[in-house]
Amino acid sequence: MSSSQQGLKFKPYVGLFFQFAERIRKQPDKALVGTKVYGNSLRGHTKHTHETLPGSILIVDEKRNYVRFLGPDNMHYWVAKTQIVPLKLPTYEGNPIPILEDFKSFLVYCTDTRLRDFHTDEMTYRAIKLLPQIEALIENQKVGIIPKS
């Protein structure tokens, strides 16, 4: 992250998939999972085994050192950020997700960076790098939508 992104006001964990760190997967009873965050501490601890520890979790909220996820039983739980790692999702040829994530980070930079940290050069550099990828993605999508004449 560049120094100009320090003032961003979004939650970088929300909307992404994570998994428990290797040390937690080996010893699921060490997982700090609870039903509530009060101040900066976890309440309503739940115990987990190899069978009950979710393989992947989707983060829906963030609060201080904790993130909230939707459990397999459709209940919300909180877990310490130190106990999770990003989940590498499988990719396929032509996957638009990386371009969309770049586009999202570009928009975040342009809209959420504090004015004193904002640099037109940085914005221009990102746009020049991103535009050809977006144009290629649009052309690729047109091939599947527009019938051949």
Instruction: Tell me: pLDDT of 1 over 60.
Output: no
Q: Give DSSP secondary structure letters for 5-42.
A: GTT--S-TTTT-EEEE-HHHHH-GGG--EESEEETTEE
> 5 falls in which pLDDT band (50, 70, 90)?
low
**Rounded distance, CA 125 to CA 102, Å?**
13
pLDDT higher than 80, residue 2: no
Q: Does residue 87 have a pLDDT over 80?
A: yes
Please tell me the predicted confidence (pLDDT) of residue 26. Answer: 94
Topology adopted by domain 17-86: SH3 type barrels. (2.30.30)
Structure tokens at 99: 């371009």
Q: What Å distances lie between residue 140 and 33, 102, 122, 128, CA to CA?
A: 43, 18, 28, 19
Give residue-wise pLDDT tens across range 109-129.
Answer: 888 888 888 888 988 998 888
List C-alpha distances in Å: 89 to 56, 86, 97, 98: 10, 9, 10, 11
Check residues 23 and 89 and name the one with the higher pLDDT. Answer: 23
CA 105 to chain centre: 11
First and final C-alpha spacing in the chain: 46
Where residue 108 falls among pLDDT bands split at 50, 70, 90? Answer: confident
